[in-house]
Each structure stands twice: as structure tokens, then as C-alpha cells.
Structure 1
Amino acid sequence: MAALQYLALFFVFMIGVAVAAVAVMYVIDRTQRGDAIRRNYPVIGRFRNLFTELGEFFRQYFFAMDREEMPFNRAQRNWIYRASSGKGNTVAFGSTRNLNVPGTPIFMNAVFPPLDDQYASTEPLLIGPYCREPYSAPSIFNISGMSYGAISKPAVKALSRGARLAGVWLNTGEGGLSPYHLEGSCDVIYQIGTAKFGVRDAAGNLSDEKLREMAAHPQIKMFEIKLSQGAKPGKGGILPAAKIDDEVSKIRGVPLGQDAISPNRHREVDDFDDLLDLIAHIREVTGKPVGFKTCMGSADPWFAFFKKVKERGEESAPDFITVDGGEGGTGAAPMPLIDLVGLPLREALIRMVDLRDLAGLHDRIRIVAAGKLVAPGDVAWAICLGADFVTSARGFMFSLGCIQALKCNKNTCPTGITTHIPSLQKGLVVSEKDKRVAAYAKSVISEVETIAHSVGVAEPRQMRRRHVRVVKDDGSSVQMNEIFPSVRLGDGGAAGNRMFEEALRRMASDVKAP
């Protein structure tokens, strides 16, 4: 009986506490002046903020259709999850993809494709023929730049180990080289951002001594100068202070307690002559291939760049160019830049490829495509347009277990990928996730080879624009080479040859590209 009395008193007490809490919130809401909803609807108005916060999570599970979400829909994420787990990616009944959406690529299967024992397989491709240490890159699909600091220690470890298992390269991102990039013994691309983290002196200038130190690592195969990226063109990188611990501070050379913000461009690069000089300098100091990454705003300035290369000679050319689309992602960037600035990859890639080919540098400069390319169809499409390689960051984040919680900039990532909170990092088990990274990369490569085999070529890079159709506004489709004829001599038909000859005349003059 006494126990029941105590229980009743406890419930009365709790009810009293709840009533008191509601009364306090009522008074606070009625007297505050910043939120009109809470002032007019005290206590109840607080639920609006809660539902707004939780809405982005509930949508992906209960309300959005498989192909509706942004930036990546459920169908894309589920394909990556299945590929990463090593499970079969066959589906039943029929495709859920709407083939009437303008811009949808449709690959053209050959009437008599090669037999199964003539399966299309990827061949290594040489980068940097004029370097002391050129790089024979084995894979068409690789891991794009994700800096240590932006992503966690276990995430970098898993990516490094997985890259080694799959035979793909890993880009460091602009945050410098950490021991975890090297742990898996994979091929590494060192990205030099505008702040030159890891290869700068005390004043923030490029250090030849540190460049040589980095180049001495046999795993570092190339250097990539980051001019801009798709998620924030014209704006430097941002690493929130909450993500900067002692180790990140030491690797980057930045102070604790404040955001690490990179300049919006390299201070010593004011024009294309300066860019070519910087490329030549880093290549001479390191002996390894050097290229750059950029997000295009227009093709016009780049016409002048290739003219400069032709004037100097092909040895002066960058060994590769990474073209990032305006739809590219990042851990933290202003919304106007993410949403509104930079050409989408579908336009930028064609323009850069054509300018390279017009300059007669197809076999000299390799083109790397980046920007929201996570599935085999995306990769095959980019190769058809002229890319030599494709890189992905967010695809590999999904392979690590990313659930698109959209908390990359808050240090509260629930999967341990973009957080430095130890309790959250424990969820990312490196010895399991590295296998998922490798399985995802292998699945993408294998299915790109399947598409190449279906269209009738012996190697994925033999795919051309004539092998893919694009859906138009009226629902019909047209071959890509009819919209964008290839400008490579002999590869684009009569229209392409006329364009090539006209462009050569323009290249020799001061007239801008069409």
C-alpha cells in the first residue's frame, strides 16, 4: 500500500514539474520578441522548429519517392549500399527510372556486340610523359579530394586501405598529407590548395623543401593544384574550428580555436602565364605529374589558356586537368555558391575536352571529370564525353556508410565520417569499411566495362559521344555527337572536321572560342 502511495506521489510530482515547465515556457514565449510564431502561439509554436529540423530526415524514409531527393536520391544511395556490401545489384520487374526526363542519357547497344570472351576491360593510362616519374594510372574510377580534418581519421584510413584493395588512387584534398592517407599503401594524389597546407613555409608561401619531402613518398604519384571547386568557385575552403584538433592543426599549420579559411585563389597566380610557370616549377621540383582542378564559369578564358600552351610547346602543358561541375559537394560552403555559381559538369566537361582536342593535346593532357558522379551510368557518360578518368567523393562517403544526414559542417556526423568526436567515430570500423570502399569501386568499374561491352567497344575509353543518346524536351532522344560533334579530326564526321579546321584558324588568331 505504501508503495502505491509513493508511486502516486511521484506521478503528482512529475505532473507538477511538467506544468511548471510549460508555464515557464509560456511566459518566455509570450515575452520574447524574436519569434512571432512563439509569441502568438506560446509553447505550441516551439514544435514548428522541431518539425523543421526533423523534416529532412523523415522525408528520405517516408515521403520522398525513390528518385525524388536531392542531392542524391534513395535509388542512387541504395545502389551504392548494395555494391559496397558485395551483394548483387540485379533488379526485378523493370526500371523505375523515368526515361522521358530531358537530359537522361541512353547508351546505344551494338547489334553484334563482342562475345563474352572479348569483354571490355580497362587498360592503364600514362600521365605525365615528360616527367622524371610519369604515372601509369590503372583505374578509370578513383577517389576525389576529401581532406583529413573535413573527414575523420577512421574514414581516411578506410579509404586508403580500400583504395589499395581496389587499385584506385586517393586524392588527399587540400588539407595536406596525414599518416592515415599512407596507411593503406595506395596511390596518392597530393592536392595543393590555395593555402598550401602541408607544403608551405611559415609565411604561407609554397616551400620547395616541403614539396621535395612530399615527393619523396613513393605512394604520392601526382600533384594537383586546386584553382577552384564546383561547390564554391571563387571561394576558398572552410574548415570549422570545431573540427580542428591538435593533429589537424599540426598537419595543416593552422591555429586552434578558429576556422581555417583558405584564400579564394593562389596569390602568386594572376594569369595563365603564372599558372603554367607554377605547374612547371612544381613538376621540376618533384619530378612527378602536375595538373590542376577547376570549376568552369565560361569556355572563353580557357581558349586563351590553350593558346598559351601551344605557344610554349606541349611540354609546358599540365599533365592533367580535373574539371569539377557546379553541382559538386563540400563539407561547408555558402549556399549561393553551392546553388548558383559554376557550370554544371554536363556543359563544362564538353567544353574543356573540346578545347584540349582543338589544341591537338588529346594524348598530352588527361581530363579528369568530377562532380556528383557516383553510379556506373554517370561514369560511362563522362567517358563518352571525353573524360579519361572519373573521380568521386560522395559516392565513396556512401560506401563508408553516409546516410546523407547533411551534418558535414557541424562535427556531429552520426556515422563517424565527418566528425572528430571519438564516441561517434567508433561507429566507423575501419577493418569492415575498407572492404566496402573496395567493393564499391570494383562494382562501378565492372559495370562501366559492362556498358562498354554492350555498346561494342573493347575498352571503356573507346566509347564516344556517338554511343550515347540524350533525351530532349519533347521526350525523344538524339545522339550526343549530333548536339556536340567531336572536334577530334576524323572522329566527329564532316561537321566535326569543319569545326576543327575553323577552330585551328581561331586558335592562331586572337578571336575567342565560339
Structure 2
Amino acid sequence: MFNLLLASLGVLLAFTFIGALVYLYVQDVTQEKHAVLRNFPLVGHLRYFFERLGEYFRQYLFLGDREEMPFDRATRSWVYRMAKNEGGIVGFGSTYRIHEPGALVFVNAPFPVLEEEQRPPPARVIGEGYCRTPFVGRSLINISAMSFGAISRPAVCALSRGAASAGCWLDTGEGGLSPYHLEGGCDIIFQLGTAKYGVRDENGQLSDQRLRELAAHETVRAFEIKLSQGAKPGKGGVLPGTKVTPEIAAIRGIAEGRDSLSPNRHPDIANIDQLLDMVEHVRAVTGKPVGVKTAIGGKRFMHELTAAVSRRGLQAAPDFLTIDGGEGGSGAAPQALADHMALSIDEALPLVADALMASGLKERIRLIASGQLVTPARVAWALAAGADFVNTARGFMFSLGCIQAMRCHTNTCPTGVATHDLRLQRGLVVADKAARVASYCKNMNQEIGMIAHSCGLPHARELRREHVRIVQASGQSVALDELYPYPATNS
């Protein structure tokens, strides 16, 4: 009897399977959207299956350690080791392509700095003399803007706790201030995006009352007016409706379950003077430093900004500038903009630093660099080029466990970093990942210092352009101060 039941079940399953194949076959040959399926029913599905899995096969089976984009395996593995406190030691030589154009080479000193001569990099004060509560930035590397919404609740919690432990700041991104940003007690920079999320009144306009409420939080140290970001200059933030939960909708002041699309610019900021008006207004209301985040497309922006500050006075200047390179971007973005819009940080950062030095504003306006600066060598280059601080988003995403699955915008992130699926979020254990965030930050600061010491400098803030060489197409390297000579100053 039991065998008969098994046989009957087997026959039923076989007929069900055959019926499903027949149904799928008929569906394929009658549909009109996909030529491959119409011409090759059933087997044509393999094409789409392998297309979806293609990037994973390439990532793990076919590409070399230095071939993948946007971050190769060697770079990701380095971040993972730093986050796990496993050290940055390699054996049998480096796989870094030192002869390729763009390769970084630091000028080692014949007599490097002894351990007893080494010094911690001095803190830099932001907004001193121009606001009621200046902000002291201590860490060379900090957490770049990632909105709650774009990344998950446990991810924000881990970043907040890790930042507090490491002594770096956390930028909220344009999605508003959530309880999870505040949970760890770290220093916070509140980003004021084009949609005014988190500081909107009932009509969607900037609310001074809401600004005061945010500024009342002791850990909210500064405000950042976002003009654009490297991933999508000229387009506002994009948060798909599948990621707009009731909680996120409440924090942002928007409708639940609908795409959250920010305007491509602030409606009330159409020129440099209006930008500086906004800077002064937010600073007066909050009493805290106010900066500007933008990608750079050429010299015009900095020419107009420095000219306006010269005309209006130093009190009108932003307290800091965050410059995002065109290669930046931890979230969803149109490929046409992500691929082709805005200068890379390699070109934009020296351009902005030169403009600030030439106008005598370098000490007034702190300069923050962002854009694929996830290794100590890249951060050391940025400091040498003129940055006061460096922000990274994807470096800290890797420290959270990101595997570069390229699914940030689909709500299906397999590591729980960029999804609101509770089942997937379960994989991100906050206490463990917070420790990794802190370790990555601390080890980055330590290895940036190690590069400086090898250059004969007591700390990393002493790095200058003459300490870095860039490999050219000829295979020979040229000093950074020859590629970008220091400008004559007005001060």
C-alpha cells in the first residue's frame, strides 16, 4: 500500500512537472516581448539566468585581483582585513600595478621618522570664529553621507556605534536624522538635501523650528547643504518606493511606499549668492558650522564662490566644502550620470584646493574629499593634494560586510546593509559590525600615518604634493607638485 502511494505520488509529480513545462512552453512561444524566448522556448530562460549570475561568476571565478570595478578584489580584501584587525601584511610582493598610468608612488625618506618622533595628527577646527559652536574634527577619515533608507537600520546603528568608538563623524545623508544615527553617540553632520528631508514644514519648505530642534542635539556638530553628489550630479536622490517604509516616510516627511525623488537642486538656491545666503541663514539659526557638498565640473564654481566671499566677507563663507568625485556613489544612480558626469576626485580636489589657496581661503574653509578613497594610500594622496579630511561611504560599507553585489537599489542586498527586508537584515549583527567599523577607521588612520612616517614626516597632516608621484603614460612618474603647482596666494 505504501509503495503504491509512493508510485502514485511520483506519477502525480511527473505529470505536474510536464504540465508546468508545457504551460511555460506555450507562454514562451506566444509572448511578444522577448525574441529569445519566442524562438527558443524553455532553454531561452538559461540566457537570462546566466545573465543575472554573470557578475557573480566574473567576480569570483574569472576576474583577477586587480580587474574588477568599481572596487577590485584586492582592495575589498584589504578593507575586510583592516575591519577584522587581521593586518595589512602581504607576502611575496604586491599585485599593485605600479607601472600603469595613475599609479601612486610616495617619496620615501632616506631617514624615516623614528617611533619616538612620531606625533598624532593635530585636530582641525571647523567654523572657529564664525559660529557659536565650532566643531573639532579629529579623525582623518570619516563616514560619508548614506541616508537611512538607502541603508538599513542595523547598518546605521553599527556605523553610529563604530564611529563613536573610533572618534570619527557620521554624515546622515539627505534622508533626515533617525534615532539610529543618535544611538551610538558619535559626532554627526546633518545633510540638508534638495528635498529638505527632516527639516521640512507641512508645505515642504525649510523649517527654522526643525533646524533648531536638530541643532539642540549635542552630537549634531554641523550642517551640510548638499548641491550634488558624485554618483549623479544634476539629479536628486533616488529611493525606490519598496524601501520607503512607514518609519522612513515619517522621518523624511513623505508618503509611504512611493518613490522618494529629490529635486535636482534646491528650489530656493539658483546661484552662488543665494547659496551663501542659505549658509549664513542656517548658521545663524543653528549656531553650528555649515558647509556645502558638491561635485565639480570645472573651474567656474570655485571662481564664483571665492569671488562672492571676497565681496561679501569671510562671515559669508561656508565653513567647509565637501568635494565628491565623479567616481563616487554608494546608492542608486542613472548610469549616464554615474559614468560621465563630473570630474574625478583626482582632478577636482587639486582644482578646489588651488582655488582656496589662491584666494587666501584655505584656512577659513576646511576641505573634505570624497570619491573611492578607501585605502590609506588614496587618503594620503588626498591629504597631500590639499584635503583636511576624507569621507568614504563604500569603505565603511565594506567594513559592514558589503560584498559589492550591486543590488543597493533593489532592496535585496544579501548582506543586510542596503535592504529593509528583515530576513536579510538578520545577517547584519550590530555589535560585531560596529567593532569592524571602528577597526577599519582606526587602522586607516594608523596606516595613513605609517605612509607619512616613511616620507620622513611626524604625522600625516604634514603630507604635501612633493611627497607624491603619479605614474604617466610613458611609465615614468611625475611629482604631484609638478602636475599641480602650488598657486600664488592673495594672503
TM-score calculated relative to the size of structure 1 = 0.93
- Residue in 1 that maps onto 2:29: 30
- Residue in 1 that maps onto 2:424: 424
Of stretches 309-318 and 251-260 in structure 1, the one that deviates more from structure 2 is 309-318
1:298-341 per-residue CA deviation (whole Å, 9 max, x = no partner) reads: 11232121011111122221110000000111321111111111
Give the Cα–Cα distance (whole angstroms) in 2 for the partners of residues 373 and 103 of structure 1.
14
1:52-111 per-residue CA deviation (whole Å, 9 max, x = no partner) reads: 001111211111111111111111111111111111221111001111110111011111
Contact 1:120 1:457 (C-alpha < 8 Å) held by counterparts: no
Q: Percent identity?
A: 52
Find the residue that maps to 1:126 and give its secondary structure: strand
- Residue in 2 that maps onto 1:59: 58
Find the residue that maps to 2:190 and give its secondary structure: strand
| Pair 1:288 & 2:311 matched | no
Give the Cα–Cα distance (whole angstroms) in 2 for the partners of residues 302 and 69 of structure 1.
34
1:395-431 per-residue CA deviation (whole Å, 9 max, x = no partner) reads: 1011011111111111111111111111111111111
- Residue in 2 that maps onto 1:104: 103
Whichever residue aligns with residue 361 of structure 2, its letter is L
Contact 1:120 1:453 (C-alpha < 8 Å) held by counterparts: no
1:395-406 paired onto structure 2 within 5 Å: 395-406=395-406
Find the residue that maps to 1:328 and give its secondary structure: coil
Contact 2:81 2:88 (C-alpha < 8 Å) held by counterparts: yes
- Residue in 1 that maps onto 2:451: 451
| Pair 1:39 & 2:38 matched | yes
1:26-69 per-residue CA deviation (whole Å, 9 max, x = no partner) reads: 22211222111111111111110000001111211111111111
| Pair 1:265 & 2:269 matched | no
Q: How much does 1:248 deviate?
A: 0.7
Give the Cα–Cα distance (whole angstroms) in 2 for the partners of residues 484 and 429 of structure 1.
45
- Residue in 1 that maps onto 2:12: 13
Contact 2:125 2:135 (C-alpha < 8 Å) held by counterparts: yes
1:241-280 per-residue CA deviation (whole Å, 9 max, x = no partner) reads: 1111111111100011211111111111111111111101
Give the Cα–Cα distance (whole angstroms) in 2 for the partners of residues 180 and 197 of structure 1.
16
Whichever residue aligns with residue 32 of structure 1, its letter is Q
Of stretches 296-305 and 147-156 in structure 1, the one that deviates more from structure 2 is 296-305
Q: How much does 1:343 deviate?
A: 0.7
- Residue in 2 that maps onto 1:493: none
Q: How much does 1:9 deviate?
A: 4.2
- Residue in 2 that maps onto 1:334: 334
Whichever residue aligns with residue 478 of structure 2, its letter is V
Find the residue that maps to 1:21 and give its secondary structure: helix
Q: How much does 1:10 deviate?
A: 3.7
Q: How much does 1:120 deviate?
A: 4.3
Contact 2:419 2:425 (C-alpha < 8 Å) held by counterparts: yes
TM-score calculated relative to the size of structure 2 = 0.98
1:54-453 paired onto structure 2 within 5 Å: 54-129=53-128, 130-453=130-453
Contact 2:293 2:324 (C-alpha < 8 Å) held by counterparts: yes
Give the Cα–Cα distance (whole angstroms) in 2 for the partners of residues 292 and 301 of structure 1.
12
Contact 1:120 1:452 (C-alpha < 8 Å) held by counterparts: no
- Residue in 2 that maps onto 1:461: 461
Whichever residue aligns with residue 62 of structure 2, its letter is F
Contact 2:330 2:393 (C-alpha < 8 Å) held by counterparts: no
Contact 2:135 2:221 (C-alpha < 8 Å) held by counterparts: yes
- Residue in 2 that maps onto 1:492: none
Contact 2:325 2:345 (C-alpha < 8 Å) held by counterparts: yes
Of stretches 297-306 and 13-22 in structure 1, the one that deviates more from structure 2 is 13-22
Find the residue that maps to 1:97 and give its secondary structure: coil
Find the residue that maps to 1:136 and give its secondary structure: strand
CA RMSD between the two structures: 1.3
Q: How much does 1:463 deviate?
A: 0.5
Whichever residue aligns with residue 64 of structure 1, its letter is L
Whichever residue aligns with residue 235 of structure 2, its letter is K
Find the residue that maps to 1:453 and give its secondary structure: helix
Find the residue that maps to 1:406 and give its secondary structure: coil
Contact 1:29 1:42 (C-alpha < 8 Å) held by counterparts: yes
Q: How much does 1:464 deviate?
A: 0.7
Q: How much does 1:3 deviate?
A: 4.6
Contact 1:120 1:450 (C-alpha < 8 Å) held by counterparts: no
Count of residues paired in the alignment: 490
Give the Cα–Cα distance (whole angstroms) in 1 for the partners of residues 451 and 256 of structure 2.
49
Unaligned runs of 5+ in 1: 488-499, 508-514
Unaligned runs of 5+ in 2: none
Q: How much does 1:20 deviate?
A: 2.3
